[in-house]
């Protein structure tokens, strides 16, 4: 049975997150309905992860199986894009090995969080405007404490089903880009609400409410109440997902 990786992007403002749920529109449900219509069979997809309500994705990957191989892949993508609507864009379709898995085979994930320097009504659903001045030098110094393999329970939503809260962060930094500050973070895996909780804590450091050194203590506590309030969802983007070349056919 052929398996495919679907690469896509979406604006999260109109969806109640990635994951399919009762009585609420999700990205997963929208794509599954479109695939089922085109393929004339019930299609279920498995995403590389799940994003919360209002969170965006510049790159999401999902896998699905078909009874027979896709013929014209460009035509298939064209048909999908016509059905899924304006808030979702299908970028590519790649055939992979039968055992390839969009979630478990991912070797790295990168998220970006966008902070506006000034209020912009045209970006109100796409970036967060924090009205107080922030010290990004201190925020970057504090972010250094995040690097490496550590238990990030302090930045995780409680009562999740994960077996471990250990993650290895490769980089975490604030970068100035035109009229925005962007927090870039890459890790082998992320916990539920992790990036937004980290950003919220760094914002408190940037405001001077916390000292730079407090970030290490927050991590050591392994307690969500030790960290700051989560930053709003609409500034967060799943930016990139890495896979080994060996899974592709």
Q: Which of 52, 178, 188, 223 is catalytic?
A: 52
Alpha carbon distances (Å) from 124 to 54, 116, 161, 179, 244: 12, 9, 33, 14, 36
β-bridge partners, 151: 166
CA 62 to CA 93: how far, in whole Å? 10
Exposure on the CB side of residue 88, measured as CA atoms within 13 A: 29
Q: Is 151 a catalytic residue?
A: no
* Residues annotated catalytic, as ranges: 52
């Amino acid at each position: 049975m052929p398996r495919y990786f679907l690469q896509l992007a979406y604006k999260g403002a109109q969806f109640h997150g990635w994951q399919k749920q009762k009585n609420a529109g999700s990205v997963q449900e929208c794509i599954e309905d479109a695939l089922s219509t085109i393929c004339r069979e019930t299609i279920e997809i498995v995403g590389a992860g799940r994003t919360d309500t209002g969170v965006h994705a510049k790159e999401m990957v999902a896998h699905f199986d078909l009874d027979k191989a896709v013929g014209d892949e460009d035509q298939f993508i064209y048909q999908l894009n016509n059905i899924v609507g304006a808030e979702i864009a299908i970028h590519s379709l790649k055939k992979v090995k039968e055992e390839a898995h969009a979630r478990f085979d991912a070797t790295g994930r990168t998220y970006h969080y966008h902070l506006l320097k000034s209020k912009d009504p045209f970006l109100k659903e796409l970036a967060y405007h924090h009205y107080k001045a922030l010290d990004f030098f201190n925020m970057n110094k504090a972010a250094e404490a995040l690097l490496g393999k550590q238990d990030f329970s302090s930045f995780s939503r409680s009562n999740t089903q994960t077996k471990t809260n250990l993650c290895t962060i490769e980089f975490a930094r604030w970068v100035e880009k035109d009229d925005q500050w962007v927090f870039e973070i890459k890790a082998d895996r992320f916990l539920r609400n992790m990036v937004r909780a980290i950003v919220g804590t760094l914002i408190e450091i940037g405001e001077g409410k916390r000292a730079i050194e407090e970030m290490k203590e927050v991590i050591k506590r392994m307690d969500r109440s030790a960290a700051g309030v989560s930053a709003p969802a609409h500034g967060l983007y799943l930016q990139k997902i890495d896979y080994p070349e060996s899974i592709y056919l």
